[in-house]
């Protein structure tokens, strides 16, 4: 019998990203409306009684492709079999939609009066349109389905989408772009009229979203994953042409930058964070696929700039005082930090773990009792009445909360359906609403971090973060933040390397193998346990102390809160390792409105000296994981 500190039938009840993935599946599928072709809601408000979901224009081609990406990732990491009927209905609806030419369209129909009438698009231009950025993500998602099923139909479907996106690209002088005719979402293709202009973008903040590069570089995610699947060099060439356009200095740079020219060359920006980190991710993908050093350096510089605009230790990266941190953004930071680390462009694993343990999971609504508390305290609202919305909604839609179109809102089981969905964090204190673009993107961040915990490398495995994960190769169980202790239960590996977190001191580390002291050699900041036979139990311990720090949330440059010499919220924080266990607002900061929303960072239970125990999860994922 293998000696161990605890009964092998239980594990420490600490952060389990797989369980958050299970809840995220509920949030993703719960936002769908089966009676309306499985279209997703865009917004969910809890500050009314009853709470309600709201459909919005441009979700079908702009956001629902993210769902196509997220679903196979969440299934793989969690093993959940819940709501497979809803998932199947959604996927069949998406496949019917794209049956015409391979693209997914927002369809104009009497059932969807919000198609162009809310926010996006020229009023009166009633036509189907395809958001090209969204279809780029559709293409990536189809490659995920091919990987997880091995079914060639997904490659065939991806080929149709890819060919149509290639056909619609405007290419001149080794630059490529999609025009912006003004129908529907920014840079969308009108299905009947076709491109009514072929002009290239001219500045960084064009369109309703004010995020030119989001729409031009996000499609690269699909091009490059299809290139990896098919080997078709045309899509690597197309990615280069879009990247050539996207790295032009005129599309980058930040207000109040030290040198506007240098900032533009190095990926500085002052557009909202998700809208720029998504294209930076695509540039990094391109640089890695093409061996383009300029793109690699540009992506790393842009990531480093974004780090300085946020508080990585809290996992928060704020747009403005009003809108705060989007759940979308945590996934972008995690993906970039992992990809840069994998590429040898830096060691950002502490960034990944800090974001995952803090801002990412706090952006996810997981407490139905707290959701009900907010709703019961809100004003009464009958279905179909004008919006009731929190301060964040009033900040984004400054004119007024609009009249609801017939069929636009849903009130059925909103709380139950929203468990696991993602939203905004305002002032590190509360969430005010859910945006399901964030649900679909934030959920993927859970997978990225989960997949990065343990990697198989031949007959060995690398443990990059002290987080929980069961795998076919070994199991990792962390006692953090209660204790600085990591249990590893080897299954078949001959060699295991374990990265030491940045907060831990190498001299303090103590290791045991099968209950006996062990002294592994080090390579950099990694312990190497070699010559293993399988079945070993490793325990690594290092003191974890409570560290106190004050953190100021900053906002993207150019907003008056920065120019006027004032700052964002100042927070008194207590950290144990990479986990913040307490956050207290010292100063609310400029632009923050008092509001009783869904409270975040309620972490008193994390301050105990010993972790409680949970039964051992039964699910272990398959040997092959999705290459994202």
pLDDT tens digits, one per residue of 342-352: 999 999 999 99
In this structure, are strands 409-410 and 52-54 parallel, antiparallel, or unpaired?
antiparallel
* Separation CA 623–CA 267 (nearest Å): 38
Do residues 424 and 392 touch, judged by C-beta distance below 8 A?
yes
Burial tier of 89 (Cβ tally within 10 Å: 0-12, 13-18, 19+): middle
Q: Which range has the worst mean pLDDT, 81-90, 305-314, 491-500, 503-512? A: 305-314
Interval 467-489 mean pLDDT? 98
Q: Which range has the worst mean pLDDT, 386-395, 414-423, 442-451, 616-625? A: 386-395
Q: Which residues pair with 11 in a beta bridge?
A: 614
Using alpha carbons only, what angle is made at residue 531 by residues 529 and 536, rounded to the nearest 5 degrees? 70
Domain boundaries, the chain: 546-607
Using alpha carbons only, what angle is made at residue 89 by residues 86 and 92, rounded to the nearest 5 degrees? 150
Element (H, E) at 214: helix 212-217
Interval 2-11 mean pLDDT? 66
Do residues 417 and 32 touch, judged by C-beta distance below 8 A?
no
The confidence band for 403, taking pLDDT boundaries of 50, 70 and 90, is confident
The confidence band for 259, taking pLDDT boundaries of 50, 70 and 90, is confident
Do residues 141 and 65 touch, judged by C-beta distance below 8 A?
yes
Residue 589 vs residue 424, higher pLDDT: 424
The confidence band for 2, taking pLDDT boundaries of 50, 70 and 90, is very low
Per cent of the chain over pLDDT 70 is: 96
Do residues 2 and 536 touch, judged by C-beta distance below 8 A?
yes
* Separation CA 217–CA 246 (nearest Å): 7
Quote the distance between the C-alpha of residue 267 and its chain's center. 20
Give the pLDDT confidence score for residue 3 in this predicted structure.
38
Give the pLDDT confidence score for residue 558 in this predicted structure.
62
Does residue 117 surpass a pLDDT of 70? no
Do residues 267 and 295 touch, judged by C-beta distance below 8 A?
no
* Separation CA 64–CA 527 (nearest Å): 42
Q: Which range has the worst mean pLDDT, 268-272, 292-296, 537-541, 557-561? A: 557-561
CB atoms within 10 A of CB 587: 15
The CA R_g of the chain, rounded to the nearest whole Å, is 24
The confidence band for 436, taking pLDDT boundaries of 50, 70 and 90, is very high
Do residues 250 and 221 touch, judged by C-beta distance below 8 A?
no
CB atoms within 10 A of CB 405: 16
- For the chain, the average pLDDT equals 93
| Per-position b or e across 533-556, b if 16+ CB within 10 A of its CB | eeebbbbbbbebeeeeeebebbbb
CB atoms within 10 A of CB 85: 10
- The token pair that represents 418 in the structure block: 């929203």
Which residues lie closer than 8 Å to 389 by C-beta, 6 or more apart? Answer: 45, 47, 397, 401, 433
Does residue 463 surpass a pLDDT of 50? yes
509: nearest Cα among 484, 532, 488, 490:
484
Give the pLDDT confidence score for residue 321 in this predicted structure.
72
* Separation CA 89–CA 413 (nearest Å): 19
Do residues 473 and 454 touch, judged by C-beta distance below 8 A?
yes
Q: Side by side, which strands form the sheet with 579-587?
A: 546-552, 570-576, 579-587
Query: Which alpha helices (DSSP H) does 460-599 contain, by range?
Result: 560-563
* Separation CA 445–CA 335 (nearest Å): 7
**pLDDT one-digit tens code per residue, 486-536:** 999 999 999 999 999 999 999 999 999 999 999 999 999 999 999 999 999
The confidence band for 561, taking pLDDT boundaries of 50, 70 and 90, is low
The confidence band for 118, taking pLDDT boundaries of 50, 70 and 90, is low
Does residue 370 surpass a pLDDT of 90? yes
Give the pLDDT confidence score for residue 148 in this predicted structure.
96
70: nearest Cα among 26, 106, 102, 38:
26
Write the DSSP string, 442-484.
HHHHHHHHHHHHEEEETTEEEE-SS--EE-SSEEEEE-TTTSS
61: nearest Cα among 98, 91, 105:
105
Does residue 6 surpass a pLDDT of 70? no
**pLDDT one-digit tens code per residue, 587-623:** 887 667 778 899 999 999 999 999 999 999 999 999 9
Number of residues assigned to the chain: 628
DSSP state of 565: S
Give the pLDDT confidence score for residue 193 in this predicted structure.
96
Does residue 563 surpass a pLDDT of 50? no
DSSP state of 187: T
The confidence band for 254, taking pLDDT boundaries of 50, 70 and 90, is confident
DSSP state of 319: S
* Separation CA 171–CA 287 (nearest Å): 20
Interval 190-217 mean pLDDT? 95
Does residue 20 surpass a pLDDT of 50? yes
Interval 310-328 mean pLDDT? 88
- Largest Cα separation within the chain, whole Å, is 75
The confidence band for 402, taking pLDDT boundaries of 50, 70 and 90, is confident
Does residue 102 surpass a pLDDT of 90? yes
* Separation CA 352–CA 525 (nearest Å): 16
Phi-psi region of 154 (alpha: psi -120 to 50; beta: other; left: phi over 0): alpha
Give the pLDDT confidence score for residue 396 in this predicted structure.
76
The confidence band for 1, taking pLDDT boundaries of 50, 70 and 90, is very low
Residue with tokens 């325990």: 539
Helix axes 132-149, 219-230, angle to 10 degrees: 30
- The token pair that represents 107 in the structure block: 């369809």
137: nearest Cα among 185, 172, 183, 80:
185
Does residue 314 surpass a pLDDT of 50? yes
* Separation CA 105–CA 134 (nearest Å): 10
Give the pLDDT confidence score for residue 124 in this predicted structure.
83
Residue 512 vs residue 210, higher pLDDT: 512
């Amino acid at each position: 019998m293998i000696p161990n500190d605890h009964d092998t039938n239980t594990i420490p009840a600490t952060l389990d990203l797989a369980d958050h993935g299970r809840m995220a599946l509920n949030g993703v599928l719960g936002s769908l409306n089966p009676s309306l072709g499985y279209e997703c809601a865009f917004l969910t408000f809890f500050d009314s009684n009853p709470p309600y979901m709201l459909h919005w224009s441009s979700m079908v081609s702009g956001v629902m492709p993210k769902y196509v990406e997220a679903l196979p990732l969440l299934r793989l990491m969690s093993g959940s079999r819940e709501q497979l009927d809803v998932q199947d209905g959604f996927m069949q609806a998406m496949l019917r939609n794209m049956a015409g030419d391979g693209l997914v369209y927002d369809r104009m129909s009497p059932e969807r009066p919000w198609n162009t009438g809310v926010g996006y698009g020229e009023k009166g231009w009633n036509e189907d349109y395809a958001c090209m950025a969204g279809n780029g993500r559709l293409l990536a998602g189809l490659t995920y389905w091919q990987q997880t099923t091995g079914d060639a139909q997904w490659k065939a479907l991806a080929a149709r989408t890819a060919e149509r996106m290639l056909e619609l690209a405007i290419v001149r002088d080794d630059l490529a772009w999609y025009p912006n005719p003004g129908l529907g979402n920014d840079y969308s293709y009108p299905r009947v009229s076709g491109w009514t202009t072929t002009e290239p973008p001219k500045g960084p903040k064009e369109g309703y979203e004010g995020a030119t590069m989001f729409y031009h570089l996000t499609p690269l995610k699909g091009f490059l994953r299809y290139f990896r699947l098919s080997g078709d060099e045309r899509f690597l060439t197309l990615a280069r042409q879009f990247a050539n356009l996207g790295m032009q200095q005129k599309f980058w740079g930040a207000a109040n930058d030290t040198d506007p020219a240098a900032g533009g060359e190095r990926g500085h920006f002052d557009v909202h964070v998700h809208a720029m980190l998504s294209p930076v991710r695509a540039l990094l993908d391109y640089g890695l696929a093409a061996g383009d050093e300029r793109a690699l350096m540009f992506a790393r510089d842009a990531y480093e700039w974004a780090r300085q605009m946020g508080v990585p230790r809290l996992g928060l990266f704020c747009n403005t005082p009003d809108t705060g941190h989007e759940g979308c953004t945590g996934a972008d930071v995690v993906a970039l930090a992992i990809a840069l680390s994998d590429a040898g462009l830096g060691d950002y694993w502490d960034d990944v773990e800090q974001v995952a343990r803090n801002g990412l999971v706090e952006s996810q609504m997981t407490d139905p009792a707290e959701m009900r508390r907010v709703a019961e305290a809100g004003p009464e609202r009958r279905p179909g009445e004008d919006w009731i919305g929190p301060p964040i909604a009033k900040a984004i839609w400054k004119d007024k909360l609009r009249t609801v179109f017939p069929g636009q809102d849903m009130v059925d089981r909103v709380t139950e359906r929203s468990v696991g969905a993602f939203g905004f964090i305002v002032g590190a204190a509360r969430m005010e609403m859910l945006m399901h673009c964030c649900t679909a993107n934030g959920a993927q961040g859970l997978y990225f971090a989960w997949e990065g915990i343990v990697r198989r490398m031949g007959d060995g495995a690398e443990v990059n973060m002290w987080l929980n994960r069961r795998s076919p190769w070994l199991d990792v169980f962390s006692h953090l933040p209660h204790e600085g202790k990591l249990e590893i239960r080897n299954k078949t590996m001959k060699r295991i390397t374990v990265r030491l977190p940045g907060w831990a001191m190498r001299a303090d580390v103590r290791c045991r193998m099968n209950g006996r002291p062990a002294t592994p050699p080090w390579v950099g900041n990694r312990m190497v346990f070699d010559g293993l036979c399988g079945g070993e139990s490793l325990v690594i311990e290092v003191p974890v102390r409570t560290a106190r720090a004050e953190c100021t949330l900053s906002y993207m440059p150019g907003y008056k809160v920065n120019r006027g010499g004032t700052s964002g919220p100042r927070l008194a924080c207590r950290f144990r390792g990479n986990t913040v266990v307490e956050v207290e607002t010292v100063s609310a900061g400029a632009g923050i409105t008092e509001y009783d929303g869904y409270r975040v960072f309620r972490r008193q239970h994390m301050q105990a000296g010993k972790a409680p125990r949970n039964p051992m999860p039964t699910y272990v994922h398959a040997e092959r994981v999705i290459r994202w």
